[in-house]
Amino acid sequence: MLRFLAVFIGLLTLMFGVELTPWAQTWLVAPWTDGVARTATAVIHLFDAGARAQGNIVGTGDGSFAVSIEAGCNGVEATLVLIAAMVAWPASWRRRASGIAIGTIAVQALNVVRVVSLFYLGQWSRDAFEWAHLYVWQALIMLDVLVVWLLWVRWSPAGAARDGSQGPPGGPTGTPPAPAPAA
């Protein structure tokens, strides 16, 4: 567990440090954020064809309301936490890669739901928007990261990377396989 924590904290420090560089902001974070805005707008178009995305801003067609997706609201930091946790956990690189891919999709899908809900909530009540934005969604996104990671840990037994095994007999729960039926 100590090794996991050391690697996790080290990776977080490194990845957050890289994320804050001007290069990463220009070439990775800004395009990612604009993609979140475009994806959220595509979902909003299912209900409101007038919605528009311009860069990191999602707004109504008449310009009466808009949300700006900024750092901390684009899902990048939550995804970095998930990646650090998955890389730090003892598993094969194949399992880590598939977990990171599926986990990133799960975190970003919820983040798009977040942006869409805040888009509509902000049009209804500014106070409700602020409360949901600052308290509810911040917690839900990080809870999503935790749940995705815990499900992945259960699916990816510890020790598989070290000895090449697939985990305990019978799968990740440790229950022995059922006996073969008699012929």
Q: How far apart are CA 148 and CA 91, in angstroms?
A: 15
| Residue 167: alpha-carbon gap to chain centroid | 26
Tell the residue number behind the tokens 């904290």, with chain if given.
9
Which ranges of the chain have pLDDT less than 50? Answer: 159, 161-171
pLDDT tens-digit readout, 112-150 = 999 999 999 999 999 999 999 999 999 999 999 999 999
pTM of the model: 0.82
154: tokens are: 């259960």
| CA-wise closest residue to 119 among 50, 32, 31 | 50
pLDDT at 158: 58
Q: How far apart are CA 44 and CA 122, in angstroms?
A: 14
102: tokens are: 């599926």
Q: How far apart are CA 74 and CA 139, in angstroms?
A: 14
pLDDT at 174: 52
* DSSP category for residue 112: H
